[in-house]
């Protein structure tokens, strides 16, 4: 009987240590993630999107020059479905938001090539009501259940990296190199077979995002972050059709503004890290233009 008691006590002690350790690891990583995304401040300007915003917009400099708290909730692979729930999560917990900068491009509504498991990026926020609703639909029941009860299991390689960057204060991730066009010759040859497609469901989630924001009086800026002309020229007519969608959205709603930074900068290969993403020089130039445009918008908003 004594041996059984000792075994039970050891098991209980191990369980307590596990629960405490799990909680400490989770709270530390989540604090870093919150800092990286700007969840820890009453942001008035929210930048939301995928890797184009991560590499193309300097939220720290925007905050300094505009004199307003700016958050950048952006992560590689975030599609329009992800962003709809990201917006709900952030805005519902931060009523301070007045303007949202939403990155767009010609393939925003094309789901080909995007990860079907992008929802795992949001497992650390499963305690949030909106994100929990999203994950119930997208995650497997095993993932959802484990993440509910084992908090540290909510983090994967990409989200751990994001959390560590936040803890170290490295919220901006700028690429210093410039793309070498010759390195992408074979890739561009393959891309010639891929035309721009509009997935109706993806388009619908942008429309839902617009309704969600503008019904709350929040201004939405659809910002076309530049993509190299080498990609754009593959399907110029498809690109024009998608741009017309953005223009129509802005024309139909006074709280939606479409700004095309791509048209004038897509030919500047010195601004790109690769075919789709800006380097530090491109980041600086686009951020300059975005700050100037926001200064004008802010005169009528805040």
pLDDT, one tens digit per residue, over 84-93 is 999 999 999 9
pLDDT for the residue numbered 269: 93
Q: For residue 49, tell me if it sits in a domain.
A: yes
Would 1 be classed as within a structural domain? no
Q: Cβ distance 275 to 234 under 8 Å?
A: no
pLDDT band at residue 174 under the 50/70/90 scheme:
confident
* Phi, psi angles (nearest 5°) of residue 120: -65, -20
Q: Has residue 237 got a pLDDT over 80?
A: yes
Q: What does the angle CA 90 – CA 82 – CA 91 come to, to the nearest 5 degrees? A: 15
Residue 269 belongs to what domain range? 19-298
- Give 3-state DSSP helix, strand, coil % of the chain, rounded to 5: 60, 10, 30
For position 170, what pLDDT does the model report? 85
Three-state SS at 168 = coil
Task: Give the pLDDT of residue 114.
Answer: 52
For residue 115, what pLDDT is reported?
A: 54
Q: Which residue has the higher pLDDT, 5 or 89?
A: 89
Residue 116 has pLDDT above 80, yes or no: no
Which residue do the tokens 């009086």 mark? 217
CATH number of the structural domain spanning residue 41: 3.40.50.1110
Distance CA 241, CA 197 (A): 10
Bigger pLDDT: 124 vs 116: 124
> How far from 245 is each of 68, 196, 225, CA to CA, in Å?
31, 13, 16
Assess if residue 3 is contained within a domain: no
247 domain residue, yes or no:
yes
11 part of a folded domain = no
Specify the pLDDT at position 302: 52
Per-range mean pLDDT, top range of 13-17, 221-225, 294-298: 221-225
pLDDT averaged over every residue in the chain: 90
Q: What is the pLDDT of residue 301?
A: 59
- pLDDT exceeds cutoff 60 at 113: no
Question: What is the model's pLDDT at position 39?
Answer: 95
User: Does the residue 5 lie in any domain?
Assistant: no
Cβ 250 vs Cβ 222: under 8 Å: yes
As a whole number of angstroms, the distance between CA 73 and CA 39 comes to 8
- 110-114, 152-156, 275-279 — which is least confidently predicted? 110-114
Split into its structural domains, the chain has a count of 1
């Amino acid at each position: 009987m004594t041996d059984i008691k000792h075994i039970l006590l050891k098991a209980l002690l191990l369980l307590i240590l596990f629960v405490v350790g799990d909680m400490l690891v989770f709270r530390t990583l989540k604090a870093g993630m919150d800092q990286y995304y700007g969840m820890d401040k009453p942001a008035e300007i929210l930048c939301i999107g995928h890797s184009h915003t991560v590499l193309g917009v300097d939220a720290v400099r925007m905050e300094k020059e505009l004199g307003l708290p700016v958050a950048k909730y952006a992560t590689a692979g975030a599609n329009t479905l992800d962003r709809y729930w990201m917006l709900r999560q952030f805005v519902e917990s931060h009523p301070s938001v007045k303007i949202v900068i939403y990155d767009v491009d010609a393939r925003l509504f094309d789901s080909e090539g995007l990860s079907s498991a992008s929802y795992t990026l949001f497992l650390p926020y499963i305690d949030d009501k909106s994100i929990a609703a999203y994950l119930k639909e997208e995650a497997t029941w095993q993932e959802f259940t484990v993440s509910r009860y084992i908090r540290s299991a909510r983090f994967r390689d990409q989200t751990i990296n994001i959390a560590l960057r936040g803890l170290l204060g490295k919220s901006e991730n700028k690429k210093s190199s410039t793309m070498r066009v010759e390195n992408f010759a074979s890739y561009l040859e393959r891309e010639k077979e891929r035309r721009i497609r509009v997935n109706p469901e993806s388009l619908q989630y942008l429309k839902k995002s617009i309704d969600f924001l503008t019904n709350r009086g929040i201004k939405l800026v659809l910002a076309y972050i530049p993509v190299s002309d080498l990609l754009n020229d593959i399907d110029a007519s498809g690109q024009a059709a998608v741009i017309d969608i953005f223009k129509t959205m802005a024309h139909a709603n006074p709280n939606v503004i479409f700004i095309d930074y791509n048209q004038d900068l897509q030919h500047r290969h010195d601004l790109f890290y690769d075919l789709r993403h800006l380097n530090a020089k491109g980041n600086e130039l686009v951020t300059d233009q975005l700050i100037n445009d926001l200064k004008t918008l802010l005169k009528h908003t805040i």
